[in-house]
Amino acid sequence: MVLLAIESSCDETSAAVMVNGELKSNIISTQLIHTEWGGVVPELASREHQKAIIPVVQEALQKANINKNDLNAIAFTRGPGLLGALLVGTSFAKALALSLNIPLIEVNHMQAHVLAHFIEDPKPTFPFLCLTVSGGHTQLVWVTSPLQMEVIGETQDDAVGEAFDKTAKLIGLPYPGGPLIDKLAKEGNPDKFPFSLGEMPGLNFSFSGIKTAILYFLQKETQKNPNFIEENKADICASVQKTLIDMLLRKVKKAMKEKQCNQIAIAGGVSANSGLRTRLQELGAELGWEVFIPAFQYCTDNAGMIAMAGHFKYEAGEFTDQDVAPLARYSL
């Protein structure tokens, strides 16, 4: 079964080819245009997807050594994401499927982040817990089978990726700031500036309080010393990163206990964070968990994960009609 997958939910245009569940190519074109605006501009994202989609799909087919006439199905991200951006991938997938007379498979982007764990070994066994952390979501997902998953805790306001990106903006780093905070944090002291973890009942998260706390802290310190941020950049990054990781791991521990589970996976863009990866490994070693961390290229947005989800849906016979429309909001 030869499957083409397309991802266009935010600022990555990506296409992948999967043959019988094995990933043959995964081409990712990241839009650089947003850096100068300090965040993703939806209309610009749509236009960039339009420019990139044909060359990206062609490259994915070429790299996999597949002719478009060999394709058996096309999977695409239906949502959640930016509507205009999703529309480009959705329309392209629909048109190509129609012209080749092959089935279409719609994929939920958040489900695909979790299923990225099945692209390569080692793979978790069911059931397991997945912490999905991205620029738009922060979720604890209880996964009972490839296509059955339930959100058992999530953020009530900002996503953790937003907390990384907004902190980066406050200290003068370009968008997306998450990877830059990660890099600077390696040279800083994580205990230099302690921040409160806040209170949030149950398995839910909240990141708006910490964002405000960081803003006030920086304003106060900069009033005393105008060079405060420049002189303490690495320590600020390390301290903020540690706090955000503490907030995540506190709920992971609670959920693992409630579910009496010993397999934890992380997914989404923020799972590329080296601090989170290390701390989760350490916690897992201490508490006897098996920890699953995807390779970097499958953490941030990519069509490989859409192909993996599409493969499971193909096996389950879950296809969609030509009248399918993208969804900006799409729960699991």
Annotated binding site: 109, 113, 132-136, 165, 178, 182, 273, 301
Q: Would strands 138-145 and 73-79 be described as parallel, antiparallel, or unpaired?
A: unpaired
Judged by CB under 5 A, which of 301, 308, 312, 330 binds Zn ion? Answer: 301
**From the list Zn ion, ligand KG4, none, which binds 236 (C-beta under 5 to 8 Å, kind-based)?**
none
Judged by CB under 6 A, which of 269, 284, 294, 326 binds ligand KG4? Answer: 269
- Which residue stretch of 48-56, 133-141, 197-205, 279-287 sits at the interface with Zn ion (rule: CB under 5 A)? 133-141
Instruction: Tally Cβ neighbours within 10 Å of residue 145.
Output: 10
Q: Measured from the CB of residue 135, what is the shortest distance to ligand KG4 in angstroms?
A: 3
Select from 88, 83, 90 the least CA-distant residue to 42.
83
298 binds ligand KG4 (CB under 6 A): no
136 binds ligand KG4 (CB under 6 A): yes
**One character per residue 85-114, x = contact with Zn ion (rule: CB under 5 A):** ------------------------------
DSSP assignment of 291-303, as one string?
EE---GGGTSS-H
- Which residue stretch of 55-63, 65-73, 176-184, 226-234 sits at the interface with ligand KG4 (rule: CB under 6 A)? 176-184
- Which residue stretch of 40-48, 60-68, 211-219, 269-277 sits at the interface with ligand KG4 (rule: CB under 6 A)? 269-277
Nearer to ligand KG4, 263 or 273 (CB): 273
**From the list ligand KG4, Zn ion, none, which binds 270 (C-beta under 5 to 8 Å, kind-based)?**
ligand KG4
Q: Measured from the CB of residue 238, what is the shortest distance to ligand KG4 in angstroms?
A: 12
10 binds ligand KG4 (CB under 6 A): yes
Amino acid letter for position 90: T
d(CA 9, CA 134): 13
Q: Measured from the CB of residue 130, what is the shortest distance to Zn ion in angstroms?
A: 13
Q: Would strands 263-267 and 128-133 be described as parallel, antiparallel, or unpaired?
A: parallel
326 binds ligand KG4 (CB under 6 A): no
d(CA 3, CA 72): 6
176 binds ligand KG4 (CB under 6 A): yes
Select from 116, 99, 85 the least CA-distant residue to 328.
85
Select from 12, 2, 1, 94 the least CA-distant residue to 298.
12
Q: HEC string of 199-261?
A: CCCCCCECCHHHHHHHHHHHHHHHHHCCCHHHHHHHHHHHHHHHHHHHHHHHHHHHHHHHHCC
134 binds Zn ion (CB under 5 A): yes
Q: Would strands 263-267 and 148-154 be described as parallel, antiparallel, or unpaired?
A: unpaired
294 binds ligand KG4 (CB under 6 A): no
Q: Would strands 263-267 and 290-292 be described as parallel, antiparallel, or unpaired?
A: parallel
Residues in binding site for Fe cation: 109, 113, 301
d(CA 113, CA 9): 12
**One character per residue 224-263, x = contact with ligand KG4 (rule: CB under 6 A):** ----------------------------------------
d(CA 104, CA 102): 7
Per CB under 5 A, residues contacting Zn ion are 134, 301
Q: In the complex, which residues of this chain contact ligand KG4 (CB under 6 A)?
A: 10, 134-136, 161, 164-165, 176-179, 182, 268-270, 272-273, 300-301
